[in-house]
Amino acid sequence: MVSRNSAYARKVEEEARRFFHDAAGVLRREMGWLEQLRWSAHILNLGTLDSDPWVGQPYMVLEFMPYGTLDSFVLEMRRRDEYIPNRVFWSFFLCPARACAAMAYPPIEPNWAVTNDLRLETPLQGIQPQALAHRDVHTRTARIPTKAEEVDEDDVENYDDVQNLQDYRSPEGDRNPGIDHNILAFGRVMANALKPGNRLMQLHECHDAVQDTDVRPDLDGDLRVLVERCLATEPLNRPAIGELVAACYAAVYTKDSAFYAEEKDGQFETDGYLLLIMQRYLYDADSTQLAGASGAR
């Protein structure tokens, strides 16, 4: 047992105090942001208890995800040597793209008298976007960046310039540090989905993965370029938020089984195959196997 007076124990206590010194304030701020984003379909919603059944007793409420995570789905598909269609990756990409739009343009409450469709997150013309950024796309809190990220010119030369990402620059589009951060973060999510493993890849590893055609040789070229652009070192080389959402929407709704029919693995892009893997590895998934899945092919 480490003594409470040891140098290590004092260091841990100091770091804990620094991190939690305003824990209540941090929680209140996060609840405020989530309340503002409550009409977004792709942002975590707050839950409420009508009554407190455990008055005076400590308890913890955890997030419940009935169909698992993107990571568990991809790893299980890899473990079973199943093909993940381009159409599925496009659908994956549309979800974080809409989340990015929601953080910049929080949706208003739908008119329930005329629609049952929850909260389609859409970039709005003529409205100044918020600079709300997701601090960590998995577990941490949201924050407002106070300054633009620093750009490493060597990384621009070694990645952006090599991929000619400046040639894809959007002529216009709302940008701010929050939007830039979110697009980069979700680009990393997509890179890790394309090459899953036991840990999340660092940014330079994501750069290598999306450039390596051996990782997914049959990946839709438009999808690869869009992920590459989201990972750009120079924020101006990343897609504008409106462009990102529009590109994902267009792919989801126009790149159907007929579009991929002539591809080498076109038989895996059919509606029937998509329904099969969604049912088998999502809705009917063995949660024990998903929790224990590790490694990637």
Does residue 61 fall inside a structural domain? Answer: no
For range 163-168, the mean pLDDT: 82
Q: What is the C-alpha separation between 292 and 296, in angstroms, rounded? A: 13
- How high does pLDDT run on average in the chain? 76
Name which of 90, 95, 92, 98 is nearest 269 in CA terms: 90
Does residue 78 fall inside a structural domain? Answer: yes
pLDDT value, residue 121: 74
Residue 211's domain is classified under what CATH number? 1.10.510
Q: Which of 1-10, 119-128, 177-186, 191-200 has the lowest mean pLDDT?
A: 1-10
- The residue segments making up the domain with residue 102 are 70-292
For range 266-270, the mean pLDDT: 87
Q: What is the C-alpha separation between 103 and 41, in angstroms, rounded? A: 11
Number of domains in the chain: 1
Does residue 260 fall inside a structural domain? Answer: yes
Share of the chain above pLDDT 70, in %: 68
Does residue 46 fall inside a structural domain? Answer: no
The whole-model pTM stands at: 0.75
The burial class, CB within 10 Å (0-12 / 13-18 / 19+), for 34 is middle
CB 42 within 8 A of CB 99: yes
Interstrand relation of 142-143 and 133-134 (parallel, antiparallel or unpaired): antiparallel
CB 117 within 8 A of CB 268: no
Question: What does the chain come to in residues?
Answer: 297
pLDDT value, residue 116: 58
Does residue 248 fall inside a structural domain? Answer: yes
Task: Give the pLDDT confidence of 115-159 residue by residue, as tens digits.
Answer: 655 556 777 777 788 787 776 554 233 333 444 556 667 677 777
pLDDT value, residue 266: 79
For range 166-173, the mean pLDDT: 76
39-61 burial, b at 16+ Cβ within 10 Å, e below that, comes to bbebbeeeeeeeeeeeeeeeeee
Q: Which of 18-32, 218-232, 248-262 has the lowest mean pLDDT?
A: 18-32
Q: Is the pLDDT of residue 92 over 70?
A: yes
pLDDT value, residue 124: 73
